[in-house]
Amino acid sequence: MKVADHTVVEILYTLKDADGSVIDSAAEGDSLKYLQGAGHIVPGLEKAMLEKAPGDTFSAVIAPEEGYGQQNPDLIQVMPRSAFGDIEKLDVGMAFHAENTHGQPMEVEIIDIDGDQVTINGNHPLAGVELHFDIKVVSVRKATAEEINHGHVH
């Protein structure tokens, strides 16, 4: 069976940036299973997976537009330290859960602290990054009706 929408796909992968630094991986015993077409992986990789079969190995380079998007400068904001309430110690790299202007949850990261001014970034950490995948397709099967209805693998 080949990868198509409404199939459950199991893969092993290594994800690197353009410089070859490993960002993430799923090796033997820690494979990734996902429902093709459900938007659980970045759009560019979903497209690259189509028509692949168990045993296939391939590499795919995914542009930011088909990955986590470009950096959105509107998601970088400077806030007063007082906005963080009673948190005594703030450090660059700390992440917090917040809500966007539409009330949807998002994660923000502190990227700079200058006195009482704290700069946060609400972009995904991989926004603007070209993604380099090395993939091995382990298995492909038809998704059950329940998996399709729920939108994820059971």
The third-level CATH classification (topology) of the domain covering 7-68+127-150 is Chitinase A; domain 3 (3.10.50)
Residue 64 has pLDDT above 90, yes or no: yes
pLDDT per position as a tens digit, 81-124: 999 888 889 999 999 988 877 888 889 999 999 999 999 999 99
Cα–Cα distances (Å) from 78 to 16, 83, 100, 116, 120, in that order, read 30, 10, 15, 10, 6
Residue 56 has pLDDT above 90, yes or no: yes
**What b/e sequence results for 64-79 when a residue is b if at least 16 CB atoms lie within 10 Å of its CB, and e otherwise?**
bebbbbeeeeeeeeee
Count of positions (residues) in the chain: 154
Q: What whole-number percentage of the chain has pLDDT above 70? A: 100
**Where exactly does CATH 2.40.10.330 map onto the chain?**
73-121
pTM above threshold 0.95: no
Residue 23 has pLDDT above 90, yes or no: yes
CATH architecture of the region 73-121: Beta Barrel (2.40)
Closest CA to 133 of 7, 3, 24: 24
Mean model confidence pLDDT for the chain? 95
